[in-house]
Chain A
Amino acid sequence: MTDNTQIAPNETDAATERDGSIHVESVSKVYDPDGEHVVAVDDVTLHIDAGEFVTVLGPSGCGKSTLLECIAGFTDPTSGNVYVDGEIIDGPSAERGVVFQSNRLLPWMTIEENVDIGPKMRGAVEDGRASQLLERMGLEGTENAYPSELSGGMQQRAEIARLLANDPDIMLMDEPFSALDALTKEMLQEMLLEVWDDDNRTVLFITHDVEEALFLADRVLVMTAGPGRVKEIVDVDLERPRDLSMTTTEEFTALKDRVLHLIHEEAREAME
């Protein structure tokens, strides 16, 4: 009892208040185009704590995007359930923001209108909030531009700003940086880690890039190639805050070797 009263004041810290735990319970997804059974996700069970950063690593076509779609609520699992904070999800929700692989800002709206769209639909737009978020993402002055006028990297940052405007507990990111050049990608990875450090949201991040997966994550879920299963979950016990110089450390290289080994092993098994 006395312990509880001692813990309580700490919990008022903004960073520790958030919900956002994800529990994926034996989720399978079977597509059935033209009567052909395609198992995209096969019996995946996974628990992510609130505030955790988990990356899902796997080759293309391994069903990792399908897994994200199930968690986002865009598609129903064929069997199994997805729980968020203990409740079974039923369709998409503002609590689970999504950043898409290629820019999905609405092309007919300006950047500011795009960032404001979430709050606007709830009738809670704050003046200047969009500009504030855009500045946080290094996009000051782009308010009145249309998405097509921005570079790929800027578009993805604007999309993150749009998500932040909605203040969701969970960020679901589907290979958001895969179409960007290496330098822009690294910059956005660091930016994303800063945002995550500040707000302590739960992040599920899909990627096929081993270094990206390790650099960002608390844990890396390595998936097998079609049907998508959990091959192994690798803990990444690297210090935070992280910057890119750590990708050359011995610890990082060792982890990378281990994950690469897992992937190669998987590729060999798939070929046999």
Chain B
Amino acid sequence: MSTATAIERRLPSLFEVSRRLVSLAGLVLVWTAISSVGLIGGLPGPVAALTALVALLGNPIIHESVSISLLHILGSFVIAAVIGVPLGLLIGWKTVVHDLVFPSLEILRPVPPIAWIPLTILVLPSMRSSIMFITFLGAFFPILLNTIQGVHDIEPDYVRAIESLGGTSTDVFRNVIYPGALPSIHTGLVIGMGLAWVNLVAAEMVADEGIGRFVWVSYTSGNFENIVASVILIGALGYASSEVIRFVGRWQLSWTQLDD
């Protein structure tokens, strides 16, 4: 009974789908209105932008830019998750680790990613490593903080239950800390992916690589259609990568969907 209901709830109804389409239609409508009235000088309308986007999708330069950017995202995000999740679990679980590590991370956290760019370009060996570091920072902190929060939110009696059933520290980690923090880890990963894109594009604009470079070049060459088209493309790519994470999360967290 459990899997069937879980899957049913996962699929949005036709009514929900149409509501979401209304939201998108609204965006296009407002955009059309603004561009046709000429409220913002030179802003291309949806049709012009879409035409540019279609042309862009056939452009080998954009293929190369997108694949470079995806590589940056993938690499940075995986590193952020591989460091952020275990570190967050340890910081959340063990007060000693929290006290030893967390204060220094909290000092670094509020620094805006853009502020890191000059330093990383000077210090790191290549433009690519600078971009990846900045992108990593975007993903790392949301993943870390949500993981820590996830551990803190775990009901302490679950730990006691495992201990009074004869569980060791390792058993507590495996059966309570990790699975208990998973929903929050998942939230951190979704937010982290979004911020990874934000930082990626900023870093790429400065460092002259990938899709960020493409947007910047379109700007310097005055190609307004291409600017809008690549913004849409970045939005779509960011949305798609967050969806991938959400999908994996839903599959792993089927038990949470049973709570009403």
- Bound: A242/B137 CA distance, A: 66
B164 touches A106 (CB 8 A): no
Closest Cβ–Cβ distance, residue A46 to chain B (whole Å): 20
Tell whether B179 is near chain A: CB-to-CB under 8 Å: yes
Q: How many residue pairs, one in A and one in B, have C-beta atoms under 8 Å apart?
A: 78
Residue of A nearest to B178 (CB): A108
Is residue B161 within 8 Å, beta carbon to beta carbon, of the partner chain? yes
Determine if A93 and B155 form an interchain contact, defined as CB atoms under 8 angstroms apart.
no
Contacts of B164 in A (CB 8 A): 72-74, 92-94, 96-98, 172
Contact of B155 among A92, A96, A98, A104 (CB under 8 A): A104
Please choose the segment from B7-15, B166-174, B198-206, B243-251 that sits at the chain A interface, where 4 or more of its residues have CB less than 8 A away. Answer: B166-174
B165 interface neighbour in A73, A91, A144, A166, Cβ under 8 Å: A166
- Cα-based distance from A107 to B179 in the complex (angstroms): 9
Complex contact A94–B166 (CB within 8 A): yes
Closest to B165 in A: A118
For window 173-217 of A, CB contacts with B under 8 Å fall at none
0/1 interface trace, chain A 148-181, chain B, CB 8 Å (1 if under): 1100000000000011001000001000000000
The complex places the Cα of A184 from the Cα of B164 at a distance, in Å, of 26
Q: Does A83 contact B (CB under 8 A)?
A: no
B residues within 8 A CB of A146? 2, 255, 258
Known A108-B179, A108-B180: A121·B161 in contact at CB below 8 Å: no
A252 within 8 A of B: no
CA distance A39 to B47 in the complex (A): 75
Known: A96-B164, A146-B255. A104 touches B2 (CB 8 A): no
Q: State whether B163 touches A92 (Cβ < 8 A).
A: yes
Does B162 count as interface, using CB distance less than 8 angstroms?
yes
Bound-state CA distance A100–B171 (Å) is: 19
With contact pairs A72-B160, A117-B175, A149-B1 given, residues A97 and B255 touching in the complex (Cβ less than 8 Å): no
A145 close to B (CB within 8 Å): yes
Bound-complex Cα distance A94 to B158 (A): 15
* Complex CA–CA separation, A137 to B167 (angstroms): 24
- Given the contacts A91-B163, A100-B157, A100-B161, A121 and B171 also touching, CB distance less than 8 Å: yes
Residues of A within 8 A of B99 (CB): none
Q: Of B2, B168, B175, B182, which contacts A106 at CB under 8 A?
A: B175
Contacts of A118 in B (CB 8 A): 165-166
Q: Which residues of B contact A148 (CB under 8 A)?
A: 255, 258-259
A108 to B163, CA, bound (A): 17
A163 to B158, CA, bound (A): 14
Q: Is A122 an interface residue (CB 8 A)?
A: yes
Q: Nearest chain A CB to B252's CB is how many angstroms away?
A: 10
Q: Is B176 an interface residue (CB 8 A)?
A: yes
**In the complex, which of the residues A96, A100, A145 has the most CB atoms of chain B within 10 Å of its own CB atom?**
A100
Given A98-B164, A121-B165, A149-B258: A104 touches B157 (CB 8 Å cut-off): yes
Q: Which residues of A contact B182 (CB under 8 A)?
A: 108
Contact status A106-B167, CB under 8 Å: no
- Min CB–CB distance A108 → chain B (angstroms): 4
Residues of chain A with a CB closer than 8 A to B163's CB: 73-74, 91-92
Which A residues are in CB contact (< 8 Å) with B157?
100, 104
Seed contacts A98-B160, A100-B161, A118-B166; 8 additional CB < 8 Å A-B pairs:
A74-B163, A93-B166, A107-B255, A107-B256, A108-B256, A121-B162, A148-B258, A149-B2
**Which 7 pairs, one residue from A and one from B, show the smallest C-beta to C-beta distance?**
A94-B166, A118-B165, A92-B163, A108-B179, A98-B164, A92-B164, A104-B157
Q: B-side interface residues toward A, CB under 8 Å?
A: 1-2, 155, 157-158, 160-168, 171, 175-176, 179-180, 182, 255-256, 258-259
Q: List 24 A-B contacts (CB under 8 A).
A: A72-B160, A74-B164, A91-B163, A92-B164, A94-B166, A100-B160, A104-B155, A104-B157, A104-B160, A106-B158, A106-B161, A106-B176, A107-B259, A108-B255, A108-B256, A117-B165, A117-B175, A118-B165, A121-B168, A144-B2, A146-B255, A148-B255, A148-B259, A166-B166
